[in-house]
Structure 1
Amino acid sequence: MTTTVTTQAPHLARLRLNGRSSAVHHDLGDAGRLHRRVQSMFPDTTNRTVTHTLYRLERDPAGPVLLVQSTIPLNSKALPNRYTEAVEHRDLAPLFTWITTGLTLRYRIDANPIHAPRAPNTRQRGTRVPLLGEEAIAWWERKAAAAGLHAQLILDTPQQPLRANRGTTPDGKPARPACVSIIRFEGIATVTDPDALRTAITTGIGQGRAFGAGLLSIAPHRP
């Protein structure tokens, strides 16, 4: 049975970042810092999971672009002075209406394909192991199917890992940074379950959503 999200269609903001800003450079070097910067554009009492906040960094030839999606509009004025060069907003309600069974579309997602096998004789999961190559593609095929998509074309491109500073250990030594492996999946797919797809777009797919993974983007496919 498919579980659907009953919230309104999310909003999408496209922020072209100022490559000359020292704050931007600091944030792009630490996924934890970038996460906190994204959250700074929402009320202090707002939890990321409540608004289903998702984001993805696009390294455009003209400069870095940050896509931020949430079920409430963000406040880009909360960012430091000259942090962005331009901000565009889009209501995804028309996109959600456009989604129908049998529709062929293009998709893109930066995802964290992992496998966490169960330890012997226990229900506990073991160490998370990043997936690559055919195993990663098979992971995406399963996730896409659960998200109401039949993937016809899959291009998989490993991205730079997302690293986040964890501060210091209890004894004052630098903690080992968090490292999230990322693969960009993009291609062509057919919609098999519109409700499941709307839910996947709203809530994200896979692990690492707090660090910029899991945002599924779709667009018309024009052969």
Structure 2
Amino acid sequence: MYLSRIQINPARRGARKLLGSPQAMHAAVLASFPQSDEERGRVLWRVDRDGPRTWVYVVSAPAPDFAHVVEQAGWPTTQSTWAVRSYEPLLERLAAGQEWAFRLTANPTHTREGKRYAHVTVAQQLDWLLTRTAGWGFDVRGRDDARDLVVHDRRVDRFPRSGRTVTIAKATFDGVLTVVDPDALRAAMTHGVGPAKGYGCGLLTLAASA
């Protein structure tokens, strides 16, 4: 498995096209792999906006080649703006009891009468996350049972697909988690969580906790 990231230049026309359409970004990410769909397997991606910088993170089984994305939407003369690294060392390190900072952009939804509806309030979105963390192998309640968790960058993406408008409500969660089941957490990190994985949702990443 590989964890990759590429810095996007929002001032470029190609970047604005990708950032404005999850479908266009999805196509650009998949074009980074020469393998067939079956050989490539699930590819997860997420757009992060951290201050003035915009990054696309990608988790995949094969290693990607971002040359075309750099040419279209990045800085073609600056090689340090993208990197591809093996994910295995981090995945193998996971152990019960560890604490990690995490980020997840998700599409919090619920099903009613066979139809899927988005959760639209912060409280609903937080509850959506908290009722699912056990199945994903972690907990976000600290030693004093205080939740170190915030939800931000809440937005609704709309784009045309096959003659209809697709609507995806997104929310980004930042917090600190405690590993409970390392195998379940590895599965969540490599296969994604929740719906709309093809459109920038479901990628859970970890970082050292301060």
Coarse TM-score class (shorter-chain normalised): 0.7 to 0.9
Give the superposed CA RMSD.
1.9
Cα separation, 1, equivalents of 2:103 and 2:109? 18
| Partner Cα separation in structure 1 for residue 35 and residue 87 of structure 2 | 24
SS at match of 2:132: helix
Q: Counterpart in 1 of 2:78?
A: none
User: How many residues are paired up?
Assistant: 199
Q: Are the equivalent residues in 1 in contact too, given 2:4–2:82 (CA < 8 A)?
A: yes
Confirm whether residue 104 of structure 1 aligns to residue 99 of structure 2.
yes
Alpha-carbon offset, residue 68 of structure 1? 1.1
The runs of at least 4 aligned residues of structure 1 exceeding 3 Å deviation read none
Q: Does 1:133 align with 2:128?
A: no
2: CA distance between counterparts of 1:147 and 1:156?
A: 18
Matched, 1:22 2:13: yes
- Whether the 8 Å CA contact 2:118–2:169 is kept in 1: the answer is no
One-letter identity of the residue aligned with 1:32: Q
Q: Report which of the two has the higher share of strand.
A: 2
The separation in 2 between residues aligned to 1:17 and 1:196, in whole angstroms, is 32
Amino acid of the residue matched to residue 154 of structure 1?
Answer: L
Question: Does structure 1 conserve the Cα–Cα contact (< 8 Å) formed by 2:15 and 2:72?
Answer: no
Q: Partners of 1:99 and 1:188 in 2: how far apart?
A: 14
Contact 1:30/1:165, CA 8 A, preserved across alignment: no
Q: C-alpha deviations, 1:109-161, integer Å up to 9, x for none?
A: 001111112x2xxxxx1242324232221210122111110112221124222
Deviation at 1:47, TM superposition (A): 5.1
User: Deviation at 1:44?
Assistant: 5.8
Superposed CA offset, 1:76-99 (max 9, x none): 124362532221112111111221
Unaligned ranges ≥5, structure 2: 76-80, 142-147
Shift of 1:38: 0.8
Give the Cα–Cα distance (whole angstroms) in 2 for the partners of residues 75 and 186 of structure 1: 28
Distance of aligned partners of 1:18 and 1:189 in 2 relative to their CA distance in 1, 3 Å threshold:
same
- Secondary structure in structure 2 of the residue aligned to 1:38: helix
Aligned residue among 188, 191, 199 for 1:203: 191
1:16–1:66 contact (8 Å) kept in structure 2: yes
**Which amino acid letter does the alignment assign opposite residue 25 of structure 1?**
R
State percent identity of aligned pairs.
24
Q: 1:186 to 1:55 in 2, by over 3 A?
A: same
Q: Which blocks of at least 5 consecutive residues in structure 1 are unaligned?
A: 1-9, 120-124, 169-174
1:59 partnered with 2:54: no
Q: TM-score scaled by structure 1?
A: 0.82
One-letter identity of the residue aligned with 1:35? H
CA contact (8 A) 2:46 2:200 kept: yes
Cα distance in 1 for residues equivalent to 2:115 and 2:156: 21
Per-residue CA distance 1:165-186 (angstroms, 9 max, x = gap): 2253xxxxxx3x2111011111
Paired residue secondary structure (1:156): strand
Helix, strand or coil: the match of 1:32? helix
Contact 1:162 1:211 in 2 (8 A): no
Q: Counting helix residues as a fraction of each chain, which structure ranks higher?
A: 2
* Number of the residue aligned with 1:122: none
